[in-house]
């Protein structure tokens, strides 16, 4: 708790769960919070009834700090979702996919800590100027929707760290203690995980999704959507291969239907890879097991300690 980010967010380890849109599950978020990280449910494009239910369930399953991710420009009732977060006393909110500035004063008035997800130095500076507490900076390695500039975590994190004064969290391409140590070495105060948490015991995702991550290699992900200015990193499966093949001839409406949250749910929750896609980051190739969240965090922290000590000796003795 003495680590500034942990102190600020009320968590034990500087490890944050990234929002996971419509396929978020309160029990995984609670498992992350109960294991000492910051558990997060995303609202994606879920109807408000589901948003309300998920928030209530998460708060029932953990008495630790937890978070709701609102993708501002994606959810049709982002403002109502923000009110629900405040009404239920969720301690932390994460804002992505849109301009967070109009929302930040509202959350601050309600004593809610605000994390802004950014992918450029400019976005990070604007989010800080608008009053956010923590910046997540997400590189192009990450699962799901990525920024058009395609900056990688390694290049982006130190530039954002130099540009802002609030704590920075590195996201994209982190799955073990080496990644955590590297992020800290670049000046980050913590890490946000997506892909690694999909392959955990508590995650409710379909076994096919977890198996696909565990058997992935370094070339297993693909980027779709460049033509439509919406890059999304997926694990290569039959459905993703078909989209890639068809992308140049699909019109905008057809493309966005094929990549809608409905097809994400079919892939991630039903494990049907003929009709649905699964988000995954480049780090999937490093993931070889399905641990409990608590074991994962203990291992990551122990490994980061070892790696940082070894790095010191490698460089200076």
Ligand X SMILES: Cc1cc2nc3c(=O)[nH]c(=O)nc-3n(C[C@H](O)[C@H](O)[C@H](O)COP(=O)(O)O)c2cc1C
Enumerate binding residues for ligand X (CB under 6 A).
18-21, 23, 42, 44, 69, 71, 96, 117, 138, 141-144, 171-174, 192-196, 198, 268, 279, 281, 283
Residue 217: CB minimum distance to ligand X, A = 15
For ligand X, the closer of residues 109 and 291 by Cβ is 291
Starting at the edge strand found earlier in the chain, the sheet holding 113-118 runs: 15-17, 190-193, 168-171, 134-138, 113-118, 92-96, 66-71, 39-42
- Shortest distance, position 146 Cβ to ligand X, whole Å: 9
Nearer to ligand X, 112 or 283 (CB): 283
Residue 46 Rama label (left phi>0; alpha psi -120 to 50; beta): beta
State the minimum distance, in angstroms, from the CB of residue 144 to ligand X. 4
- Min CB(89)–ligand X separation in Å: 22
CB of 70 to ligand X, least distance (A): 9
Write down the least CB distance from residue 279 to ligand X, Å. Answer: 4
Q: Which CB atom, from 164 or from 183, has the smaller least distance to ligand X? A: 183
Closer of 102 and 312 to ligand X (Cβ): 102
Tokens of 118: 């950014």
Report the C-alpha gap between 49 and 80 in whole angstroms. 11
β-strand 113-118 against 92-96: which pairing, if any?
parallel
Q: CB nearer to ligand X: give 71 or 167.
A: 71
Measured distance CA(115)–CA(192) in Å, rounded? 11
What is the closest distance, in whole angstroms, from the C-beta atom of residue 20 to ligand X in the complex?
4
C-beta closer to ligand X: residue 144 or 167: 144
Question: Nearest to residue 102, comparing CAs of 87, 114, 92, 88?
Answer: 114
Toward ligand X, which CB reaches closer, 128 or 176? 176
Report the residue number whose CB is nearest to ligand X. Answer: 194
Computed on alpha carbons and rounded to an integer, the radius of gyration of the chain in Å comes to 18
């Amino acid at each position: 708790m003495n680590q500034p980010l942990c102190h600020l967010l009320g968590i034990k380890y500087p490890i944050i769960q990234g929002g996971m849109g419509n396929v978020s599950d309160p029990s995984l978020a609670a498992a992350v919070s109960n294991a000492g990280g910051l558990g997060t449910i995303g609202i994606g494009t879920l109807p408000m009834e589901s948003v309300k239910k998920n928030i209530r369930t998460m708060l029932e399953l953990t008495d630790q700090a937890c978070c709701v991710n609102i993708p501002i420009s994606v959810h049709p009732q982002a403002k109502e979702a923000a009110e629900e977060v405040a009404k239920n006393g969720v301690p932390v909110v994460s804002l992505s996919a849109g301009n967070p500035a109009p929302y930040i004063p509202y959350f601050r008035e309600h004593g809610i800590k605000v994390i802004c997800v950014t992918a450029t130095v400019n976005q990070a500076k604007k989010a800080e100027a608008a009053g956010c507490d923590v910046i997540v900076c997400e590189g192009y390695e990450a699962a799901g929707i990525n920024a058009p500039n395609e900056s990688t975590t390694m290049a982006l994190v130190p530039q954002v760290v130099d540009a802002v004064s609030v704590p920075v969290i590195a996201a994209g391409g982190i799955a073990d203690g080496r990644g955590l140590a590297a992020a800290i070495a670049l000046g980050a105060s913590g890490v946000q995980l997506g892909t690694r948490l999909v392959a955990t015991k508590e995650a409710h995702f379909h076994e096919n999704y977890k198996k696909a991550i565990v058997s992935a290699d370094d070339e297993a992900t693909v980027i779709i959507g460049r033509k439509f200015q919406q890059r999304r990193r997926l694990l290569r499966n039959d459905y993703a291969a078909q989209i890639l093949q068809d992308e140049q001839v699909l019109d905008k409406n057809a493309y966005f239907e094929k990549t809608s949250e409905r097809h994400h749910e079919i892939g991630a929750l039903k494990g049907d890879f003929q009709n649905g896609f699964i988000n995954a980051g480049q780090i999937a190739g490093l993931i070889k097991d399905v641990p409990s969240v608590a074991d994962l965090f203990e291992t990551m922290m122990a490994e980061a300690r070892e790696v940082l000590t070894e790095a010191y000796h490698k460089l200076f003795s």
